[in-house]
Structure 1
Amino acid sequence: MLALALLTAACGGNSPSSSSSGSESGAGASAASAGERAAVAEERLATNTLVPLEGEAPAPRLPVTVDSSDGRRVTVKDTSRILPLNGGVAEIVFTLGLGNRVVGRDITATFEEAKKLPQVTRAHDVSAESVLSLKPTVVLADTDTGPKEAIDQIREAGVPVVVLDPATEPADVSTRTTRIAEALGVPSAGKALNARIDRELAAARAAVPRGSEPKVAFLYMRGSAAVYLMGGRGSGADSLIAAAGAVDAGVEAGLDKPFTPLTSEALVSARPDVILMMDKGLESVGGVDGLVGIPGIRETPAGMNRRVVTLEDGVLLSFGPRTPLVIDILVDRIHRG
C-alpha cells in the first residue's frame, strides 16, 4: 500500500508535491527523483499484480456494435464470459474492473490475477477447441493473433470476436483502452483508466534527466534456440527507449524492420551504451557473463561496462496499464551511468 501511495503521489494530482514535480520537469528531474520512482515501480512489478480502477466495478451497457480491425462490425450482447487473447489486452480488462468475468488467458498473460485461468494457446498459437470449451460470450484478439483458421472457427461458432490493432508504443495503450472499454460496454471506465495512465506516463517522462541521451540496443535472444535479434523501428522497445529519454541504437543504425538478425559488425557499429533485454532472454544466454561472450557484445560500450538492463518478459512489451512502471524503471536504469 505504501508503494501505491508513493506512486500515486508521484504521478500527479493537486498536492503541493505534484506541483513541484511539474516545475522539476521543466528544469530537468533529479537522479534522486528517478531513483525513487523506479524503486516504487520495481516494488509494484515484483508483486506482479494489477491495480483496478477505484470504486465499484462498472456495469456494462449492452448491446454495443463496434468496429473490428479485421474490417468487420461486431455486435456484443453479453460480457459475462470474456476471453482476451493477448496479455496487454487482459491487463486492461482486469484494470477496468472486469477481471471476474474473464474465463481464460493466452500465454502472454503472466500477471498474478490471470495465472489460475486456463490457457488457450499452445506456445503462441490459439487453440479454437480450448477457446470454445470455455464458452466465451466475447473474445478480444489483435491482428497478430493466430492462426487465422482458429479465429475463423471461433467466429463461425457464433462467438463475437473483436480484433484490435497491435500496440507498439505507449500512445497505443490509450487507443486500445478506449476500444476495449467500448466493446465491453463500459466507455466511462475506459475514459477514467486513460486519464490515470496519461497522468502516470507524464510523470514518468518528467523524471528523465536533462542532458542525458544514452544509446540503447534492444536485443531479443533465446539462446537455447539460437535466436539472436536486434530491435529496430517498430519493435515496440524503440518507443519505450524514446519515452525514457534515450536513443534506440538499432533505429539510429538504420534498422527499419522491427527485428533484424544480430551480427557482431552491426552491433559494434551501433555502439550502444546500454543493452536492454527480457529477463528470460538474458537467462537463456547464461546471464551477463554469457552475454558478453557473444561476438560483438564485449566490443560495445555496453559490453565493456557490463551495462545490461532487463525486465520481465510479460511486462516489457505488454503495452497496458503497467507501461508507466516500465518507463519509470527504464529512466532510472538507463541514465544511471
Structure 2
Amino acid sequence: MRTPGRTQLPLFRRGVVVLAVAVAVLVSGCGGSGDATGSGSTSTPADASARAAAATKQLATNSVVPLEGKAPTPKLPVTVDSSDGRKVTVEDASRILPLNGGVAEIVFTLGLGDRVVGRDITATFEEAKKLPLVTKAHDVSAESVLSLKPTVVLADTDTGPSEAIDQIRDAGVPVVVLDPATELADVSTRTTRIAEALGVPAAGKALNRRIGDDLAEARAGVPEGSRPKVAFLYMRGSAAVYLIGGKGSGADSLVKAAGAVDAGTASGLDKPFTPITSEALVKAQPDVILMMTKGLDSVGGVDGLLDVPGISQTPAGMDRRVVDLEDGVLLGFGPRTPLVIDILVDRIHAK
C-alpha cells in the first residue's frame, strides 16, 4: 500500500504522491547545506518560532510566491525527453496547461502564471482557482483541454485516462509527461524539467537555489540534541481508513528534514502505509503525531483521535502532542515545502 492519493485508495483515486529520500540529497541538489540535526547552527528557538509564524501566515494566504524580478521569457523551440519515452518539441509556451496541481505550482512560481490557461482539480492555490477546470472528478477531459487551445500540456505519468492524453496529442498539442515526485530529490529534478520544457532553464536553476536555501535555513532551527519520534497517521474517519506511515510514506522524509525520527520506520514498518493497530502504535511510541488537517477533523479532532485504540497509550497521546497541516500543502512537495519544514521544526521540537 502506498501513500493514499490519486492512484491508491478507491476513495482517493489520484492525488498526493509518495515522498521519500534523504534530505541531504535535496540540499546538495538545490545548493543548500547543513546536516539533518542542525548541529552547529547558531539559530535560536526564537528564530525558529519566527520562521514558523511567517510560514503559517504565508500558507494561510494559499498563494505561491513567484521568483523575484521580471518574468522570464521562454526561449523556444526546445526538444525535451518525455517520461512516456517520447521526444517532444515545444515551439510555443504562450498557453500552458498543467494537468497536475504540483506542476501548476511550479509553473506559477517560475513566473509564468499569466500564461496558464486551465487547471487540474488538484491545483487549489489562490492564483489558479479562477482558471477553467479541465478534469471531471480526477479524469482529464480531452474536450475541455482542447477547447482552451493550449500550446503545450504538462502531465504526469499517472495523468489519465490514457485515451484522453492520446486525443490531446493527436490534435497536435505537445504533451510533456513528467515522473511523479516520489522523493525529496525530485523537487529539483521536476523543477528543472518543467523549466527546460518551457524554455526558461535559468529560472529553474534560480527556483532550485531558492528552495534549497530556504530548506537549509529551516533546518538550521532544529535544536541541538532534539530527536523526537514522529508518527504520521493518515486517517479518513468517515471511510474507516486508519493508517500509520512507515518507510517510503513521504512523510518520513519531511520528518527527517525537520530533524526528527520517523516513528513508523524506526519501529520496523518497511511499507509506506500499514493499518493502525494498538500493537503498532505502542511499538512505535511516538512523541508527536503528525496528520493532515482534514484527517484529524474526520475523527473528531484531538479528542476523537485519542479514542482510537492505542493512541492514548503513546507519549504523544498522553501529552496531546498532535501537529496537523493542510492536506494539499503537507505532502504537496513543491516550492512551498520549505514552509512546511519551518512549521514542523518549530512544532515537533516544542516542549
Report the TM-score, using the length of structure 2 for normalisation.
Answer: 0.85
Tell me how far apart the structure 1 counterparts of residues 159 and 291 of structure 2 sit (CA, whole Å): 23
1:77 has 2:91 as partner: yes
Distance verdict in 2 for CA 1:229–1:157, change over 3 Å: farther
CA contact (8 A) 2:38 2:221 kept: no
In the other structure, the counterpart of 2:288 is 274
Q: Deviations over 1:121-144 (max 9, x none)?
A: 333333333322322221112223
CA contact (8 A) 2:100 2:155 kept: yes
Match of 1:298 among 305, 308, 312: 312
Tell me how far apart the structure 2 counterparts of residues 252 and 121 of structure 1 sit (CA, whole Å): 39
1:128 has 2:163 as partner: no
Q: How many aligned positions are there? A: 317
In the other structure, the counterpart of 2:173 is 159
1:322 has 2:348 as partner: no
What's the secondary structure of 2:312's corresponding residue? coil
1:60 has 2:37 as partner: no
Tell me how far apart the structure 1 counterparts of residues 47 and 76 of structure 2 sit (CA, whole Å): 44
In the other structure, the counterpart of 1:6 is none
Tell me how far apart the structure 2 counterparts of residues 127 and 265 of structure 1 sit (CA, whole Å): 45
Deviation at 1:75, TM superposition (A): 1.1
| Higher share in helix | 1
Task: State which drifts further: 48-57 or 259-268.
Answer: 259-268
Match of 1:141 among 149, 155, 175: 155
Select the structure with the greater relative contact order (CA < 8 A; seq sep ≥ 6). 2
Distance verdict in 2 for CA 1:161–1:261, change over 3 Å: farther
1:223 has 2:244 as partner: no
Match of 2:214 among 165, 185, 200: 200
Q: Deviations over 1:150-182 (max 9, x none)?
A: 323322332222111222343221111111000
Match of 2:130 among 111, 116, 125: 116
RMSD of equivalent CA atoms = 2.1
CA contact (8 A) 1:30 1:207 kept: yes
Deviation at 1:50, TM superposition (A): 1.3
In the other structure, the counterpart of 2:193 is 179
CA contact (8 A) 1:68 1:74 kept: yes
Q: Deviations over 1:55-82 (max 9, x none)?
A: 2111111111111122211111111111
Q: Deviations over 1:37-70 (max 9, x none)?
A: 1011111111111111112111111111111122
Q: Deviations over 1:221-259 (max 9, x none)?
A: 111222222222222211111000011112222323322
Distance verdict in 2 for CA 1:128–1:292, change over 3 Å: farther
- Equivalent residue letter for 1:334: I
In the other structure, the counterpart of 2:65 is 51
Q: Deviations over 1:255-283 (max 9, x none)?
A: 23322222222122111111111111111
Tell me how far apart the structure 1 counterparts of residues 144 and 38 of structure 2 sit (CA, whole Å): 52
Q: Deviations over 1:198-230 (max 9, x none)?
A: 111111111111101111111111112222222
Distance verdict in 2 for CA 1:45–1:116, change over 3 Å: same
CA contact (8 A) 2:38 2:224 kept: no
Report the TM-score, using the length of structure 1 for normalisation.
Answer: 0.88
In the other structure, the counterpart of 1:190 is 204
In the other structure, the counterpart of 1:285 is 299
Equivalent pairs: percent with the same residue? 82
CA contact (8 A) 1:168 1:239 kept: no
- Equivalent residue letter for 2:91: K
CA contact (8 A) 2:264 2:284 kept: yes
The answer for unaligned runs of 5 or more in structure 2 is: 1-30
The answer for unaligned runs of 5 or more in structure 1 is: 1-11, 13-21
In the other structure, the counterpart of 1:239 is 253
What's the secondary structure of 2:235's corresponding residue? strand
Tell me how far apart the structure 1 counterparts of residues 151 and 199 of structure 2 sit (CA, whole Å): 13
Distance verdict in 2 for CA 1:177–1:131, change over 3 Å: same
Q: Deviations over 1:308-329 (max 9, x none)?
A: 1111111111111111111000
- Equivalent residue letter for 1:178: T
Tell me how far apart the structure 2 counterparts of residues 251 and 151 of structure 1 sit (CA, whole Å): 37
Q: Deviations over 1:71-121 (max 9, x none)?
A: 211111111111112222111100111001111112221211011112223
CA contact (8 A) 1:74 1:161 kept: yes
